[in-house]
Amino acid sequence: MEGWPDFRLAAANLTIGRGGQALASGLSFVLERGQALLVTGPNGAGKSTLLRTLAGLLSAIEGRISVTGTGLESGTPAGLCAHYLGHADGLKGALTVQENLQFWAAMLGGRGPQPDIAGALACVGLSHVADFPAGYLSAGQKRRIALARLLVAERPLWLLDEPATALDAASQDRLAAMMQTHRARGGVIIAATHAPLGLEDARELRLSERAGALA
Amino acid sequence: MTRALAALFKRELRLAHRIGGGAAIGIVFFLIMVTIVPFAIGPDLNLLARIGPAVLWIAALLATLLGQDRLLQADMEDGSLDLLRLSEIPLELIVTVKCMAHWVATCLPLIFAAPLFGLMLAMDVDALAGTTLTLLAGTPALTFLGAIGAALTAAMRRGGLLSAILILPLAIPVLIFGVSASAAASGGTIPFATPLLILLGLSLAAIALAPFAAAAAIRLLGE
């Protein structure tokens, strides 16, 4: 399995916030191949805002985010090499699981190889629902399909916002294994979480409530 | 990139077919609008023939608004819009493709149905052909203008009506030139080509500019 031998994400002196209101400032970190960062902190501290800023869905109030690595042109936005797993699963209930994943593979996969949808579904233990409309699935199953999306398109940076929500114990183990494999291939993970995710030797970025209080 | 664009187009058509009942709802709405008018006006065939193009145009205008408010809202609610923004395709192009699919799914069937429904308004052949042609030329403008309203109201719970209020005034020029071209087709003082060309110009301008406005609105709402 090829991976990303020299992927690197750097955030320098980042100030994040919503609508011009700063939530946290002076965030600087560098993540290189295989490293993981846990973003922790109380509700409203800016965990989701940080992930959305890194994905390019929100603009940073100050500071810069850069990604480098083989095959990445300089100045590539981090969002283009990132998978974002937010609170919503991004599934269309009227389409089958297979169709949903095929669509995201085509949208997010770029010029990568043919997506292994069956393999991704097997990896989250849901091979048997491939032809079900996604609307029939339970919350936990939808979450697992959203996790399978991370596998059908090759992207080095995973931005996971509470990835373990609604997952049962077995699925949490599968998630831990998925993240382990991704890191072994040189991928980088940033996860906002309240629950332990089984990420070994991950660094921790603690956003404080004080910083979270709106001025 | 072509693969991604094709996948998006296909997905939009599939969703329109499975969720909205596809073309059927729009056509039935169109039919009801056209049927109501003779009841309101009375069975004066000359009058109906004269106002026929205008009735078809107003019916088409309202029918295109059906479902338009969900163009971006549905994707925003289920998180798809965030993910679409992480693809290599610029947001402007995503809006364009979504509009094209929406036009194919809702407007194209109306255009095919228009000559048939026009018969109920006692329109002659020239007027039917002219109106159908102007609908073909003008409805892209309506769809793309609608995308601006859809983008502005995407984050609102009941944005549909507001979207219509925002967009209908912008659709007035399209309506004026659409109806005047239709009227010119069945005789009149101005040649058919003049208003038709202006109508085509309006459509092209909407196709070129509206995606930028809609994309800007989406980016702002995300903040």
Domains with residue ranges and CATH for chain A: 8-214 (3.40.50.300)
Model confidence pLDDT, tens digit, residues A131-174: 999 999 999 999 999 999 999 988 999 999 999 888 899 999 99
Distance from CA of B4 to the nearest CA of A (A): 5
Chain A interface residues (partner B, CB cutoff 8 A): 18-19, 52, 55-59, 79-80, 82-84, 86-92, 94-95, 99, 102-104, 106-108, 110
| DSSP designation for B140 | H
Separation CA A124–CA A151 (nearest Å): 10
The pLDDT, as a whole number, for residue A111 is 67
Helices then strands, each counted (H, E), chain A: 6, 8
Nearest CB among A57, A82, A94 relative to B15 is that of A94
Contact B8, A107 (CB under 8 A): yes
Contact B148, B168 (CB under 8 A): no
Q: Percent of chain A beyond pLDDT 70?
A: 94
Q: Percent of chain A beyond pLDDT 90?
A: 44
Weakest-pLDDT range from A65-74, A98-107, A204-213, B4-13: A204-213
Q: Is B84 on the interface with A (CB under 8 A)?
A: yes
The ipTM estimated for the assembled molecules is: 0.89
Q: Is B62 on the interface with A (CB under 8 A)?
A: no
Nearest CB among B8, B14, B222 relative to A107 is that of B8
Model confidence pLDDT, tens digit, residues A18-35: 887 888 888 899 999 889
Tokens representing A173? 């183990």
Burial track B158-179 (b if 16+ CB lie within 10 A, e otherwise): ebbeebbebbbebbeebbebbb
Chain A positions touching B87 (Cβ under 8 A) are 107-108
Model confidence pLDDT, tens digit, residues A90-128: 999 999 999 999 999 999 987 667 788 899 999 899 999
Alpha carbons within 13 A on the beta-carbon side of B7: 19
Q: Percent of chain B beyond pLDDT 70?
A: 98
* Residue-averaged pLDDT of chain B: 90
Whether residue B154 has pLDDT greater than 60: yes
Contact B23, B106 (CB under 8 A): yes
Contact A170, A147 (CB under 8 A): no
Distance from CA of A210 to the nearest CA of B (A): 22
Distance from the Cα of residue A143 to its chain's centroid: 13
State which residue of chain A sits closest to B87, comparing Cα positions.
Answer: A108
- Positive or negative, the Cα torsion across A201, A189, A90, A19? positive
Q: CB distance B7–A107 less than 8 Å?
A: yes
CA distances (Å), A66 to each of A7, A31, A188, in order?
11, 11, 14
Q: CB distance A84–B83 less than 8 Å?
A: yes
Q: CB distance B18–A94 less than 8 Å?
A: yes
Instruction: Tell me the three-class secondary structure of B192-213, residue by residue.
Output: CHHHHHHHHHHHHHHHHHHHHH
Burial track B109-146 (b if 16+ CB lie within 10 A, e otherwise): bbbebbbebbeebbbeeebbbbbbbbbbbbbbbbbbbb
* Residue-averaged pLDDT of chain A: 87
Which strands make up the sheet holding A36-40, listed edge to edge?
A82-85, A157-161, A188-192, A36-40, A203-206
Residue with tokens 């999306």: A149
Residue with tokens 């399978």: A148
Chain A positions touching B83 (Cβ under 8 A) are 84, 90, 104, 107-108
The pLDDT, as a whole number, for residue B179 is 92
Whether residue B204 has pLDDT greater than 90: yes
Global confidence as pTM? 0.90
Contacts of B136 by beta carbon, 8 Å cutoff, 6+ apart? B111
Contact B143, B103 (CB under 8 A): yes
Nearest CB among A80, A88, A102 relative to B78 is that of A88
Q: CB distance A94–B19 less than 8 Å?
A: yes
* Interface probe, candidates A107, A114, A149, chain B, greatest B C-beta count within 10 A: A107
A74: number of Cβ within 10 Å: 7
Separation CA A59–CA A49 (nearest Å): 10
Q: Which of A12, A63, A62, A54 is nearest to A155 (CA)?
A: A54
Q: Percent of chain B beyond pLDDT 90?
A: 53
Chains A and B form CB pairs within 8 A to the count of: 73
Q: Which of B64, B83, B217 is nearest to B155 (CA)?
A: B217
Which strands make up the sheet holding A21-32, listed edge to edge?
A21-32, A8-18, A62-68
CA distances (Å), A33 to each of A3, A13, A20, B173, in order?
10, 21, 32, 57
